[in-house]
Amino acid sequence: MTTATPTFTGEFFVPGKADARMEADHVERYRFACRLAAGKSVLDIACGIGYAAPMYLEAGAIDYLGVDLNAEVLQAAKDNYSSEKACYLIGDITKFECGRQFDLISCFETIEHVPDYRGALTNLFKLVQPGGTLLVSSPNRPVTSPSARSLTDKPENPFHTQEFTPAELIAELQAAGFEASLEQTYGQRQSQMPSNRFLKAVYKATVGNPKKKASPEVTPLNSRSPRYFLVTARKPA
């Protein structure tokens, strides 16, 4: 049985409804995560419509649990992607628990939506098996919200409560108990585009919009600025 695809509002990703650039960004994060999935139990927190389940299972994951707070997208996930090894539960990232821990947790483009992001990271630490891995991604504030100078400044995206720099999110992960570092942080859409609005407009006019031209592939951080970054954080064994 399949259900109708939820309406795309911009708050969460809907395959086939978002533009090609956004779809590539989301899919590439899961492709990266699938490299680590073989033989692992997977929790996909804020799973949305749940399309990552078959990707993880094909990559060799033992099982997959998708969790989301949005009942509409979760119902679509259940109807479209449930299987013997994949199931879905409704839950809040700051307090979800299911009586077990996971080898691998993915939390993509979510932490910027959560007012209590410290509570979320603390709870994710509890859900990761000792020696396990949390993959967490975020927009890179200097690129996506250049007028926001700190975590307390409102991002340009109306659905976000805060946005991070890589160093800020790494510090928050470490405070929650994770091992995390810039050496284990990756980027998407990495470019040298300036943050100044005027210079940015000139750059786009002469070089092209890096949102579309720079690669969505998840690659090690380099001297350029990523539009999105992904931290691989480990829970000590």
CA 46/CA 38 separation, integer angstroms: 21
Residue 9, pLDDT > 70, answer no
> Residue 72 corresponds to which tokens in the numbers above?
């509409």
What's the pLDDT band for 222 if we cut at 50, 70, 90?
Answer: confident
Reading across the β-sheet that carries 228-234, which strands appear in turn?
Answer: 86-90, 63-68, 41-45, 102-107, 128-139, 228-234, 185-188, 219-220
Q: In this model, does residue 229 exceed pLDDT 80?
A: yes
User: Which whole number is the average pLDDT over 159-175?
Assistant: 97
- Is 231 strand, coil or helix? strand
127-157 pLDDT tens trace? 999 999 999 999 999 999 999 999 999 999 9
> DSSP letters of 52-99?
HHHHHHHTT-SEEEEEES-HHHHHHHHHHH--SSEEEEE--TTT---S
pLDDT value, residue 224: 81
* Nearest partner of 32 among 57, 59, 64, judged by Cα: 59
Q: Are 185 and 232 in contact (CB under 8 A)?
A: yes
Task: Give me the domains of the chain, ranges plus CATH numbers.
Answer: 20-234 (3.40.50.150)
